[in-house]
Protein backbone atom coordinates (compact mmCIF):
# COMPACT_ATOMS: atom_id res chain seq x y z
CA UNK A 1 0.00 0.00 0.00
CA UNK A 2 1.17 3.54 -0.73
CA UNK A 3 -0.40 5.99 1.65
CA UNK A 4 -2.29 9.08 0.55
CA UNK A 5 -0.50 12.17 1.78
CA UNK A 6 -2.53 14.60 3.90
CA UNK A 7 -1.45 17.97 2.56
CA UNK A 8 -1.30 20.21 5.64
CA UNK A 9 0.00 23.15 3.63
CA UNK A 10 -3.01 23.13 1.29
CA UNK A 11 -5.58 22.56 4.06
CA UNK A 12 -4.03 25.32 6.18
CA UNK A 13 -3.97 27.68 3.17
CA UNK A 14 -7.68 27.09 2.60
CA UNK A 15 -8.41 27.76 6.29
CA UNK A 16 -6.37 30.99 6.20
CA UNK A 17 -8.35 32.07 3.13
CA UNK A 18 -11.61 31.47 5.01
CA UNK A 19 -10.34 33.42 8.03
CA UNK A 20 -9.17 36.32 5.84
CA UNK A 21 -12.65 36.50 4.29
CA UNK A 22 -14.30 36.59 7.73
CA UNK A 23 -11.91 39.31 8.91
CA UNK A 24 -12.82 41.38 5.82
CA UNK A 25 -16.51 40.96 6.69
CA UNK A 26 -15.77 42.27 10.21
CA UNK A 27 -13.94 45.28 8.80
CA UNK A 28 -16.59 46.06 6.20
CA UNK A 29 -19.18 46.01 9.00
CA UNK A 30 -17.20 48.74 10.78
CA UNK A 31 -15.78 46.38 13.41
CA UNK A 32 -12.15 46.29 14.49
CA UNK A 33 -9.61 43.79 13.19
CA UNK A 34 -8.94 41.00 15.72
CA UNK A 35 -5.84 41.74 17.79
CA UNK A 36 -3.25 39.16 18.85
CA UNK A 37 -0.50 39.88 21.39
CA UNK A 38 2.55 37.66 20.90
CA UNK A 39 4.91 37.73 23.87
CA UNK A 40 8.38 36.31 23.53
CA UNK A 41 10.91 36.07 26.35
CA UNK A 42 14.60 35.81 25.46
CA UNK A 43 15.92 34.85 22.04
CA UNK A 44 15.58 31.10 21.58
CA UNK A 45 16.32 30.77 17.83
CA UNK A 46 13.55 28.19 17.19
CA UNK A 47 11.02 30.39 19.03
CA UNK A 48 12.12 33.40 17.00
CA UNK A 49 11.36 31.48 13.80
CA UNK A 50 7.92 30.42 15.12
CA UNK A 51 7.03 33.94 16.25
CA UNK A 52 8.09 35.43 12.92
CA UNK A 53 5.87 32.99 11.04
CA UNK A 54 2.92 33.63 13.35
CA UNK A 55 3.24 37.35 12.75
CA UNK A 56 3.46 36.80 8.99
CA UNK A 57 0.29 34.67 9.14
CA UNK A 58 -1.50 37.46 11.03
CA UNK A 59 -0.55 39.98 8.35
CA UNK A 60 -1.83 37.62 5.64
CA UNK A 61 -5.34 37.30 7.12
CA UNK A 62 -5.69 40.85 8.47
CA UNK A 63 -5.22 40.14 12.17
CA UNK A 64 -3.44 43.00 13.99
CA UNK A 65 -0.45 41.57 15.80
CA UNK A 66 1.16 43.25 18.76
CA UNK A 67 4.64 41.87 19.36
CA UNK A 68 6.35 42.15 22.72
CA UNK A 69 9.93 40.93 23.12
CA UNK A 70 11.19 40.74 26.67
CA UNK A 71 14.76 40.04 27.82
CA UNK A 72 15.63 36.50 28.97
CA UNK A 73 16.39 37.71 32.52
CA UNK A 74 12.95 39.21 33.11
CA UNK A 75 11.28 38.06 36.34
CA UNK A 76 7.96 36.21 36.46
CA UNK A 77 6.29 39.21 38.13
CA UNK A 78 7.23 41.53 35.23
CA UNK A 79 5.89 39.01 32.72
CA UNK A 80 2.68 38.65 34.72
CA UNK A 81 2.31 42.45 34.72
CA UNK A 82 2.56 42.50 30.91
CA UNK A 83 -0.09 39.79 30.68
CA UNK A 84 -2.34 41.80 33.01
CA UNK A 85 -1.91 44.81 30.73
CA UNK A 86 -3.01 42.79 27.67
CA UNK A 87 -5.80 41.13 29.69
CA UNK A 88 -7.22 44.60 30.39
CA UNK A 89 -6.74 45.97 26.86
CA UNK A 90 -10.03 45.72 24.92
CA UNK A 91 -8.22 45.91 21.57
CA UNK A 92 -6.38 42.66 22.35
CA UNK A 93 -8.50 39.57 21.66
CA UNK A 94 -5.82 36.91 21.99
CA UNK A 95 -2.65 36.57 24.07
CA UNK A 96 0.08 34.09 23.27
CA UNK A 97 3.22 33.53 25.33
CA UNK A 98 5.75 31.67 23.21
CA UNK A 99 7.05 28.56 24.98
CA UNK A 100 9.51 27.41 26.20
CA UNK A 101 10.11 30.14 28.78
CA UNK A 102 13.47 30.57 30.53
CA UNK A 103 13.75 27.84 33.19
CA UNK A 104 13.42 30.34 36.08
CA UNK A 105 9.80 31.05 35.07
CA UNK A 106 7.09 28.46 35.73
CA UNK A 107 5.03 28.23 32.54
CA UNK A 108 1.90 27.05 34.39
CA UNK A 109 1.74 30.26 36.47
CA UNK A 110 2.03 32.29 33.29
CA UNK A 111 -0.57 30.31 31.33
CA UNK A 112 -3.04 30.55 34.22
CA UNK A 113 -2.71 34.33 34.28
CA UNK A 114 -3.98 34.74 30.70
CA UNK A 115 -7.69 35.54 30.65
CA UNK A 116 -9.35 32.28 29.48
CA UNK A 117 -11.35 34.13 26.83
CA UNK A 118 -8.06 35.50 25.39
CA UNK A 119 -6.19 32.18 25.71
CA UNK A 120 -5.86 31.51 21.97
CA UNK A 121 -3.31 28.73 22.51
CA UNK A 122 -6.04 26.89 24.43
CA UNK A 123 -3.62 25.89 27.21
CA UNK A 124 -5.41 27.46 30.20
CA UNK A 125 -6.91 24.85 32.57
CA UNK A 126 -10.31 26.47 31.94
CA UNK A 127 -10.11 25.74 28.21
CA UNK A 128 -8.70 22.24 28.75
CA UNK A 129 -11.53 21.64 31.24
CA UNK A 130 -14.09 22.70 28.64
CA UNK A 131 -12.63 20.11 26.26
CA UNK A 132 -12.87 17.46 29.00
CA UNK A 133 -16.58 18.14 29.58
CA UNK A 134 -17.36 18.22 25.85
CA UNK A 135 -17.91 21.98 25.68
CA UNK A 136 -14.80 23.01 23.72
CA UNK A 137 -14.25 26.69 23.05
CA UNK A 138 -10.64 27.79 22.53
CA UNK A 139 -9.00 24.47 21.70
CA UNK A 140 -5.27 23.71 21.82
CA UNK A 141 -4.03 24.49 18.31
CA UNK A 142 -1.98 21.41 17.45
CA UNK A 143 -4.55 18.75 18.44
CA UNK A 144 -7.42 20.67 16.87
CA UNK A 145 -5.36 21.15 13.71
CA UNK A 146 -4.56 17.43 13.69
CA UNK A 147 -8.30 16.68 13.94
CA UNK A 148 -9.02 18.88 10.93
CA UNK A 149 -6.37 16.93 8.99
CA UNK A 150 -7.90 13.59 10.01
CA UNK A 151 -11.36 14.83 9.05
CA UNK A 152 -10.06 15.94 5.65
CA UNK A 153 -9.54 12.27 4.72
CA UNK A 154 -13.29 11.66 4.81
CA UNK A 155 -12.73 8.48 6.85
CA UNK A 156 -15.25 8.10 9.67
CA UNK A 157 -13.48 8.26 13.04
CA UNK A 158 -16.35 7.07 15.20
CA UNK A 159 -15.61 3.72 16.86
CA UNK A 160 -12.02 3.61 15.59
CA UNK A 161 -9.23 2.65 17.96
CA UNK A 162 -6.97 5.70 18.28
CA UNK A 163 -3.54 5.52 19.86
CA UNK A 164 -1.81 8.72 20.93
CA UNK A 165 1.90 8.40 21.63
CA UNK A 166 2.96 11.27 23.91
CA UNK A 167 1.07 12.68 26.86
CA UNK A 168 2.17 16.33 27.12
CA UNK A 169 -0.24 19.05 28.23
CA UNK A 170 -0.07 20.83 24.89
CA UNK A 171 -0.27 17.91 22.45
CA UNK A 172 -0.82 14.34 23.68
CA UNK A 173 -3.45 14.86 26.38
CA UNK A 174 -5.71 17.30 24.50
CA UNK A 175 -5.25 15.17 21.36
CA UNK A 176 -6.69 12.19 23.22
CA UNK A 177 -9.64 14.34 24.36
CA UNK A 178 -10.31 15.50 20.79
CA UNK A 179 -10.31 11.90 19.56
CA UNK A 180 -12.64 10.87 22.37
CA UNK A 181 -14.96 13.70 21.41
CA UNK A 182 -15.45 12.24 17.91
CA UNK A 183 -16.14 8.75 19.23
CA UNK A 184 -12.76 7.03 19.07
CA UNK A 185 -11.70 4.48 21.67
CA UNK A 186 -8.48 6.06 22.88
CA UNK A 187 -5.21 4.69 24.25
CA UNK A 188 -2.56 7.14 25.48
CA UNK A 189 1.08 5.98 25.50
CA UNK A 190 4.04 7.71 27.12
CA UNK A 191 7.58 7.04 28.25
CA UNK A 192 6.45 4.51 30.88
CA UNK A 193 4.38 2.46 28.40
CA UNK A 194 5.61 -1.16 28.52
CA UNK A 195 5.17 -2.44 24.99
CA UNK A 196 4.85 0.54 22.65
CA UNK A 197 5.08 -1.57 19.48
CA UNK A 198 2.09 -3.68 20.57
CA UNK A 199 0.02 -0.56 21.37
CA UNK A 200 0.90 1.09 18.06
CA UNK A 201 0.01 -2.10 16.16
CA UNK A 202 -3.60 -1.81 17.44
CA UNK A 203 -4.10 1.74 16.13
CA UNK A 204 -6.62 2.45 13.39
CA UNK A 205 -5.69 6.08 14.02
CA UNK A 206 -2.14 6.78 15.20
CA UNK A 207 -1.01 10.19 16.45
CA UNK A 208 2.63 10.50 17.48
CA UNK A 209 4.01 13.44 19.50
CA UNK A 210 7.16 12.41 21.32
CA UNK A 211 10.00 14.47 19.88
CA UNK A 212 12.28 11.55 18.89
CA UNK A 213 13.36 11.45 15.23
CA UNK A 214 11.76 8.61 13.24
CA UNK A 215 11.24 6.54 16.38
CA UNK A 216 8.16 4.71 15.07
CA UNK A 217 9.15 2.33 12.24
CA UNK A 218 6.66 1.59 9.51
CA UNK A 219 6.43 -2.10 10.35
CA UNK A 220 4.81 -1.27 13.72
CA UNK A 221 1.88 0.36 11.93
CA UNK A 222 -1.40 -1.46 11.34
CA UNK A 223 -2.06 -1.78 7.60
CA UNK A 224 -4.58 0.86 6.54
CA UNK A 225 -4.09 3.10 9.59
CA UNK A 226 -4.45 6.89 9.52
CA UNK A 227 -1.17 8.36 10.77
CA UNK A 228 -0.60 11.87 12.09
CA UNK A 229 3.02 12.72 12.85
CA UNK A 230 3.24 15.74 15.14
CA UNK A 231 6.99 15.50 15.80
CA UNK A 232 9.39 18.11 14.47
CA UNK A 233 13.02 17.07 14.81
CA UNK A 234 16.02 18.76 13.24
CA UNK A 235 18.83 16.33 12.38
CA UNK A 236 22.55 17.10 12.42
CA UNK A 237 22.45 17.59 8.63
CA UNK A 238 19.65 20.19 9.16
CA UNK A 239 16.93 17.97 7.69
CA UNK A 240 13.57 18.13 9.50
CA UNK A 241 11.93 14.78 10.21
CA UNK A 242 8.97 13.60 12.24
CA UNK A 243 8.66 10.99 14.98
CA UNK A 244 7.51 8.39 12.43
CA UNK A 245 9.78 6.85 9.81
CA UNK A 246 7.94 8.33 6.84
CA UNK A 247 9.02 6.13 3.93
CA UNK A 248 8.34 2.80 5.65
CA UNK A 249 5.11 4.14 7.20
CA UNK A 250 3.86 5.06 3.73
CA UNK A 251 3.93 1.35 2.85
CA UNK A 252 1.46 0.53 5.65
CA UNK A 253 -0.72 3.58 6.32
CA UNK A 254 -3.73 4.53 4.20
CA UNK A 255 -3.26 8.25 5.00
CA UNK A 256 -0.28 10.02 6.54
CA UNK A 257 0.85 13.57 7.33
CA UNK A 258 4.33 14.53 6.11
CA UNK A 259 6.92 16.45 8.13
CA UNK A 260 7.29 19.25 7.25
CA UNK A 261 4.02 20.24 5.60
CA UNK A 262 1.58 18.33 7.82
CA UNK A 263 0.58 19.34 11.32
CA UNK A 264 2.88 22.40 11.59
CA UNK A 265 1.01 24.70 9.16
CA UNK A 266 -2.35 23.63 10.64
CA UNK A 267 -1.22 24.53 14.17
CA UNK A 268 -0.50 28.04 12.95
CA UNK A 269 -3.79 28.32 11.05
CA UNK A 270 -5.79 27.24 14.12
CA UNK A 271 -4.12 30.01 16.12
CA UNK A 272 -5.62 32.49 13.65
CA UNK A 273 -8.97 30.68 13.83
CA UNK A 274 -8.91 30.93 17.65
CA UNK A 275 -8.01 34.64 17.55
CA UNK A 276 -10.94 35.37 15.25
CA UNK A 277 -13.23 33.24 17.44
CA UNK A 278 -12.11 35.15 20.55
CA UNK A 279 -12.73 38.47 18.78
CA UNK A 280 -16.16 37.43 17.49
CA UNK A 281 -17.21 36.38 21.01
CA UNK A 282 -15.83 39.40 22.84
CA UNK A 283 -16.28 42.16 20.28
CA UNK A 284 -19.02 40.89 17.98
P1 LIG B 1 7.05 16.75 25.36
O2 LIG B 1 8.52 16.49 25.47
O3 LIG B 1 6.40 17.74 26.27
O4 LIG B 1 6.28 15.36 25.53
C5 LIG B 1 6.75 14.19 24.92
C6 LIG B 1 5.88 13.03 25.33
O7 LIG B 1 6.38 11.88 24.68
C8 LIG B 1 5.87 12.73 26.82
O9 LIG B 1 4.55 12.46 27.24
C10 LIG B 1 6.73 11.48 26.94
O11 LIG B 1 6.30 10.62 27.99
C12 LIG B 1 6.52 10.82 25.60
N13 LIG B 1 7.66 10.00 25.20
C14 LIG B 1 8.96 10.36 25.16
N15 LIG B 1 9.72 9.32 24.78
C16 LIG B 1 8.87 8.29 24.58
C17 LIG B 1 9.06 6.94 24.19
N18 LIG B 1 10.26 6.45 23.92
N19 LIG B 1 7.97 6.15 24.11
C20 LIG B 1 6.73 6.63 24.37
N21 LIG B 1 6.50 7.90 24.74
C22 LIG B 1 7.56 8.72 24.85
O23 LIG B 1 6.81 17.11 23.84
P24 LIG B 1 5.60 17.90 23.10
O25 LIG B 1 5.65 19.34 23.45
O26 LIG B 1 4.33 17.14 23.28
O27 LIG B 1 6.10 17.75 21.58
C28 LIG B 1 6.28 16.49 20.98
C29 LIG B 1 6.81 16.68 19.57
O30 LIG B 1 5.86 17.40 18.82
C31 LIG B 1 8.10 17.48 19.47
O32 LIG B 1 8.86 16.98 18.38
C33 LIG B 1 7.63 18.86 19.15
O34 LIG B 1 8.59 19.63 18.43
C35 LIG B 1 6.45 18.56 18.27
N36 LIG B 1 5.42 19.60 18.23
C37 LIG B 1 4.97 19.94 17.01
C38 LIG B 1 3.96 20.87 16.88
C39 LIG B 1 3.46 21.19 15.52
O40 LIG B 1 2.83 22.21 15.32
N41 LIG B 1 3.67 20.32 14.54
C42 LIG B 1 3.44 21.50 18.01
C43 LIG B 1 3.91 21.12 19.26
C44 LIG B 1 4.91 20.15 19.36
89 as an active site residue: the answer is no
Q: Kindly name the residue from 54, 160, 204, 243 that is annotated as catalytic.
A: 54
| Rounded distance from Cα 105 to ligand 1 centre (Å) | 21
Write the DSSP assignment of 47-101 as a string of letters.
HHHHHHHHHHHHHHHT-EEEEEEE-TT--HHHHHHHHHHHHH-TT--EEEEPSSP
Predicted confidence (pLDDT) at residue 283 exceeds the cutoff of 80: no
Q: Tell me the best of 168, 173, 188 to mutate to test the pocket of ligand 1, counting ligand atoms within 8 Å of each CB and taking the most.
A: 168
131, 178 Cβ separation under 8 angstroms: yes
Q: Kindly name the residue from 98, 117, 118, 204 that is annotated as catalytic.
A: 98
| Protein residue closest via CA to atom 41 of ligand 1 | 264
Q: Report pLDDT digits (tens) over 37-47.
A: 999 999 999 99
Which positions ≥6 away from 49 have C-beta within 8 Å?
A: none
| Rounded distance from Cα 211 to ligand 1 centre (Å) | 4
| Rounded distance from Cα 279 to ligand 1 centre (Å) | 30
282 as an active site residue: the answer is no
The proportion of the chain whose per-residue pLDDT surpasses 70, expressed as a percent, equals 100
Sheet containing strand 64-70, strands side by side: 64-70, 35-41, 94-97
Q: Report pLDDT digits (tens) over 121-164.
A: 999 999 999 999 999 999 999 999 999 999 999 999 999 999 99
**Does the C-beta of 167 come closer than 6 Å to ligand 1?**
yes
Sheet containing strand 4-5, strands side by side: 4-5, 255-256, 226-229, 205-208, 161-165, 185-189
**Does the C-beta of 171 come closer than 6 Å to ligand 1?**
yes
Average pLDDT over residues 57-63: 98
State residue 1's pLDDT score: 65
Q: Report pLDDT digits (tens) over 234-267.
A: 999 999 999 999 999 999 999 999 999 999 999 9
54 as an active site residue: the answer is yes
179: confidence class by pLDDT, cuts 50, 70, 90: very high
pTM of the complete model: 0.97
State residue 174's pLDDT score: 98
Question: Cα–chain-centroid distance for residue 272?
Answer: 11
Amino acid sequence: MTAHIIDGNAIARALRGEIARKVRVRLSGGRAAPGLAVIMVGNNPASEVYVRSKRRDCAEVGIRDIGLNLPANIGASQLLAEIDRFNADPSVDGILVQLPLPTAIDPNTIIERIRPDKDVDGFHPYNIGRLVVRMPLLRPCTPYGAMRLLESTGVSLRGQHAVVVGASNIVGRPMALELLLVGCTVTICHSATRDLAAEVARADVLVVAIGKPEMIPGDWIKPGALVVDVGINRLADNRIVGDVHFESACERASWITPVPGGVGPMTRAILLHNTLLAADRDRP
